[in-house]
């Protein structure tokens, strides 16, 4: 019987035969069975840090941009057991003990033991007895490092030994160093191929994680070199090959890939560049399922906000609605952006919570955070051109997502516009104005007429000056 069905069966028995379970012993047995079956669905981590008894251990797992954490205190022997809340988690994880150390590992097995005999530690010092995942990851990284080092050694040797006479080595005769060098280089390439095959043929999550790191390296190189052929290969790899579900649980690799990927679509953020980026994201999404689908979209939309690509954002949102009209959206960022999609040129803005005087003249609304460097740049531009905007009849209204009152007040006191038009409810992006306007990234600027109808929406003051 499957675990979930077995649990249902036990619950049914406990309710249908309540009188038969009055005996305490039977109730304890039932409870133990329920606990066993529930934990069997989740991964269990056993910790053994003999020199760190009494310390609190934090464990972090990752789902897209979301980070889940749990903690446990080591007993007097430095031991503890943790059951992950997620079912069947296969991904990257991180362990941390305050002032003692931290380390990454792969959590993709039903049970995992992590040990370290030292008081201070780092990733390389953690041991994972009988963990095929972490042993494989360690071996392939070690092998790749060795092959890269040997490759550099061969390259350096070729440069230093150019023009040397006859060389005899390991039973090989050659009249020129280049002949032996070619043979050694071929051996190294074969070893690289064997490594790639071992990773490709492995079903372990560690193999997928290694492939994702390799993809990130190719992505970074393509963005740096801007070689068109290389860029096209990396784009096609993203659209059709990259294991996005594995990337979803790959920690910071998720955000790193999303951060660098737009760099493949370079130019002046023209409509054609933004369309190309959006279409590539949509092509990739075609092979994804929930919850990875909307998480992938959410990260792409966030990047659009940060890199000032409103056209790409609009395409992604409208196409998402057309392709998935009935799909329930749990991601809060996507929910907000879908709501904000209607807040474009010609739309009526929602009521601004906390605004004492209604809008009766053209106005510039700026959503920002005091801790955001880009926001401060736009606020500086707004202050610099404040008199110019006032002379044209504009009213300035600022809406902050700050949560620390002292920080906000220290910054907002420098604003030249009316104190009543400097709004902040200290609820962050969870505040009603940010929700009603669908604001996810800051800064965001709206220009409205005297009736609150949107004339323009942008992220840069230079588009208004």
Segment 376-413, tens digit of pLDDT = 999 999 999 999 999 999 999 999 999 999 999 999 99
Q: Are residues 321 and 213 in the same domain?
A: yes
In a domain, 152, yes or no: yes
With contact defined as beta carbons under 8 Å apart, do 112 and 132 qualify?
A: no
Beta strand pairing call for 422-424 and 444-448? unpaired
d(CA 305, CA 458): 9
Question: Of 198, 218, 248, which residue constitutes the final position of a domain?
Answer: 198
Q: What is the pLDDT of residue 26?
A: 54
Judge whether 61 and 84 are in contact, CB under 8 Å: yes
Is residue 101 located within the same domain as residue 77?
A: yes
- CATH code at 375? 3.40.30.10
Residue 306 in any domain: the answer is yes
CATH number of the domain that residue 34 is part of: 2.60.40
Q: What is the pLDDT of residue 342?
A: 66
357 falls within a domain: no
Cβ atoms within 10 Å of 371's Cβ, excluding its own: 16
Residue 88 CB-density burial (10 A; 0-12 exposed, 13-18 middle, 19+ buried)? exposed
Are 76 and 122 in the same domain? yes
Q: What pTM value is reported for the model?
A: 0.67
Q: Specify whether 246 is located in the same domain as 304.
A: yes
Phi and psi dihedrals of 216, rounded to 5?
-60, -40
Last-in-domain residue among 132, 165, 186: 132
Residue identified by tokens 């290969």 is: 233
Token pair 């009521």: residue: 351
Does one domain contain both 33 and 118? yes
Q: For position 25, what pLDDT does the model report?
A: 55
Distances (CA, A) of 72 to 81, 94, 179, 277: 8, 14, 60, 43
Any domain includes 369? yes
From 103, 132, 161, give the residue that closes a domain: 132
Q: Is residue 350 part of a domain?
A: no
Is residue 349 domain-resident? Answer: no
The pLDDT assigned to 161 comes to 54
Same-domain status, 239 and 311: yes
The C-alpha atoms of residue 366 and residue 445 are separated, in whole angstroms, by 4
Say if residue 26 is in the same domain as residue 151. no
Structural domains counted in the chain = 4
- What are the tokens at 350? 């929602």
Residues 421, 321, single domain; the answer is no
Establish if 356 belongs to a structural domain: no
Residues 188 and 239 occupy one common structural domain: no
Range of the domain at 193: 140-198
- Assess if residue 348 is contained within a domain: no
- Same-domain status, 49 and 85: yes
216 and 329 in a single domain? The answer is: yes
Residues 252 and 325 placed together within one structural domain of the fold: yes
pLDDT < 50: residue spans in the chain: 1-22, 28, 30-39, 163-170, 172, 174-175
Q: What tokens does 380 get?
A: 């500086």
């Amino acid at each position: 019987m499957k675990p979930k069905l077995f649990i249902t069966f036990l619950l049914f028995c406990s309710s249908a035969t309540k009188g038969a379970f009055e005996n305490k012993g039977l109730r304890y047995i039932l409870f133990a069975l329920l606990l066993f079956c529930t934990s069997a669905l989740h991964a269990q981590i056993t910790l053994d840090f003999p020199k760190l008894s009494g310390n609190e251990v934090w464990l972090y797992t990752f789902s897209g941009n979301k980070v889940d954490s749990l903690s446990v205190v080591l007993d007097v022997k430095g031991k503890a057991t943790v059951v992950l809340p997620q079912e069947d988690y296969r991904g990257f994880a991180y362990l941390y003990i305050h002032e003692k150390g931290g380390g990454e590992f792969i959590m993709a097995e039903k049970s995992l033991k992590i040990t370290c005999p030292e008081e201070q530690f780092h990733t390389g010092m953690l041991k994972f007895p009988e963990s095929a995942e972490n042993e494989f990851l360690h071996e392939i990284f070690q092998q790749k490092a060795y092959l890269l080092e040997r490759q550099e050694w061969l390259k350096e040797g070729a440069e230093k030994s150019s023009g040397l006479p006859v060389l005899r080595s390991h039973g090989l005769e050659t009249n020129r160093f280049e002949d032996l060098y070619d043979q050694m280089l071929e051996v190294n390439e074969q070893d690289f191929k064997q490594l790639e095959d071992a990773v490709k043929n492995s079903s372990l999550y560690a193999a997928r994680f290694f492939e994702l790191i390799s993809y990130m390296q190719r992505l970074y190189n393509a963005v740096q070199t801007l070689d068109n052929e290389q860029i096209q290969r990396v784009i096609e790899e993203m659209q059709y090959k990259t294991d996005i579900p594995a990337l979803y649980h790959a920690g910071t690799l998720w955000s790193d890939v999303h951060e660098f990927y737009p760099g493949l679509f370079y130019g002046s953020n023209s409509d054609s560049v933004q369309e190309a980026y959006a279409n590539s994201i949509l092509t990739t999404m075609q092979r994804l399922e929930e919850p990875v689908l909307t998480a992938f979209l959410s990260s792409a939309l966030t990047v659009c906000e940060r890199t000032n690509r409103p056209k790409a954002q609009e395409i992604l949102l409208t196409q998402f609605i057309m392709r998935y009209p009935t799909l329930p959206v749990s991601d809060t960022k996507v929910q907000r952006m879908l709501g904000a999609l209607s807040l474009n040129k010609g739309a009526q803005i929602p009521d601004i919570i906390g605004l004492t005087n209604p809008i009766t003249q053209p106005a510039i609304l700026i959503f920002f955070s005091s801790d955001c460097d880009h926001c401060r740049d736009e606020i500086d531009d707004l202050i610099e051109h404040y008199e110019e905007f006032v002379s044209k009849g504009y009213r300035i209204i600022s809406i902050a997502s700050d949560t620390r009152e002292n920080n906000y007040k220290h910054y907002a006191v420098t604003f030249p516009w009316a104190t009543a038009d400097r709004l902040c409810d200290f609820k962050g992006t969870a505040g009603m104005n940010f929700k009603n306007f669908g604001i996810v990234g800051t800064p965001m600027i709206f220009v409205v007429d005297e009736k609150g109808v949107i004339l323009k929406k942008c992220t840069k003051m230079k588009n208004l000056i």
